[in-house]
Chain A
């Protein structure tokens, strides 16, 4: 709440205290604190215990030692970073291109916008099931079409070197609509004067994109990067639906390793895994976030 402070009446400069009151934080803080922060802190404590359905016992750092001994952890780490980078990179690039294209004067614009956004509306389970069927090596539609074209299609989800990439592509298919929407919102918000000025200067389409749209779209870009990178690094449900981390462990990411531990009843171990995942994502995100918001301010 605002404290009563003596201040000159009818001040011309705004006093942030009175116009932007701290109690605006309260409702969100109450819900977030109780249902997210408290349980999370509790689970961080349990990361230092042998915790299963039978109870918990403090064992210090043993879970972390065990977690780093997971034989397929290294593969999971690499996969996590690859998946995060691949999905967010593609979403930024494709989202931007689609955003620019879908705000220009084209035919069937609203149809195209709807179609691109459509996959966002379908549940992950639904998308995963559908594409598992379409990507089946022998029976799947994709490989049947390739066969007609005279190409022997690969085992999209069964080839160990391809499974993770295939899932990442489906993730992009499902998520690019959201990136596009954010970009469209950003592009439409750019005042027309900028484009007119650029046209007067004789800017080409590429120059237009490079010097007008891109810089002004920075808030949209940073939002897309942050959301899709965090989503990608934590991603789990699509991978789980489509490959279960397989074949074997070849498409495991950290989140699926943790899930498997939880499911095996190793709750303390999976809590430790969550702490590790949190530190990893933070180590990647905090500098990025800081850098992105600084550029935002500078703008």
Chain B
């Protein structure tokens, strides 16, 4: 797939991508570096007075260092719920694909329902209260798992189909039981889709603000998205601090992506997944 005009088209692509994708981020960064008065003008310009450090300190210190608490909470929430979600969903997607029976359409419908139906807030709180999990981080973790399962099952089911059954058979002949077959043979082959699921769902959970708002009330339970409210109330917005906050809470997903990006490439080029 070599292209003669590669360099030229590459330059065009870089220019277009810069305008379409980088300008908005430059705007966020520049606004986050301005003083309050200047940021209120919402202009795309260099700050006349760089206030990046002051803004950073103000955002971190706001509401008694709420952002730091929020980072800890969001990290625990994201890591735990993603770990559970991936394993549970892979198990379901795997059995659904490998062992279709007359119940499979019903299961398909249930999975789709999870994507389609918006969660019911008040009844969910009742269930959580009954279980003693309301307003606990553990409860919110399970909520995120429940709401994210459908998406993951869908992806896993589709990609398990790309693993030839011969792989399973070979392992079975070698004497592998069902648990070993799944965890030691199949799961490693799903690496690229696992990475995809982890990135997508981790971003979704980390950036979620509706569920924490309802299911985990209380300042000490804040998650990162809720810190945006510190700078954006009904009547006034401190644009510089708001954009600084947006910038700061985008850093963890960015690091995660940078880390996993190599994994995607590694997983894909190893040729483990063949159609």
Contacts and interface: CB of A to CB of B under 8 A. Distances in A.
Q: In the complex, is A directly touching B at CB under 8 Å? A: yes
Interface string B2-45: 11001101110110011011111101100000000000011110
Contacts of B128: 35
Given A20-B178, A134-B27, A181-B196, A28 B3 contact: no
B95 A40 contact: no
Interface stretch (A66-74, A75-83, A117-125, A156-164): A117-125
Given A36-B119, A105-B1, A118-B21, A123 B124 contact: no
Give the size range of A's interface with the partner.
35 or more
Given A19-B181, A123-B246, A278-B113, A111 B25 contact: no
Interface string B179-196: 001100000000011001
A48 B268 CA distance: 50
Q: Say whether chain A's binding surface is mostly helix, strand, loop, or mixed.
A: helix
B197 to A, nearest CB: 11
A43 B125 CA distance: 12
Contacts of B199: 181
A133 B268 contact: no
A115 B3 contact: no
A255 B119 CA distance: 12
B36 to A, nearest CB: 15
A282 B116 contact: yes
A285 B112 contact: yes
B123 interface: yes
B241 interface: no
A120 B275 contact: no
A149 to B, nearest CB: 13
B200 interface: yes
Interface stretch (A57-65, A85-93, A215-223, A243-251): A215-223
B162 interface: yes
Interface in A154-183: 173, 178, 181-182
B145 A31 contact: yes
Contacts of A14: 168-169, 172
Most buried by A among B99, B209, B239: B99
Contacts of A38: 123, 127
Nearest to A292: B158
B50 interface: no
Contacts of A111: 14
B26 to A, nearest CB: 10
A43 B274 contact: no
A24 B91 contact: yes
Interface string B144-163: 01110101011100110110
A39 interface: yes
Interface string B104-138: 00011110111111111111101110010000000
A93 B44 CA distance: 31
Contacts of A152: none
Given A112-B13, A130-B246, A134-B24, A286 B172 contact: no
A227 B203 CA distance: 16
B21 A191 contact: no
A219 B9 contact: no
Most buried by B among A28, A103, A126: A28
A26 B84 CA distance: 13
Nearest to B232: A129
A188 B196 contact: no
Interface string B185-224: 0000000110010011001000101100000000000000
Interface of B: 1-3, 6-7, 9-11, 13-14, 17-18, 20-25, 27-28, 41-44, 84, 87-89, 91-92, 94-95, 98-99, 107-110, 112-124, 126-128, 131, 142-143, 145-147, 149, 151, 153-155, 158-159, 161-162, 168-169, 172, 178, 181-182, 192-193, 196, 199-200, 203, 207, 209-210, 225, 228, 232, 239, 242-243, 246, 249-250, 253-254, 257-258, 261, 264, 268-269, 271, 273-275
Given A19-B178, A101-B13, A188-B268, 8 more contacts: A28-B153, A104-B1, A123-B209, A126-B228, A189-B274, A219-B158, A230-B116, A281-B116
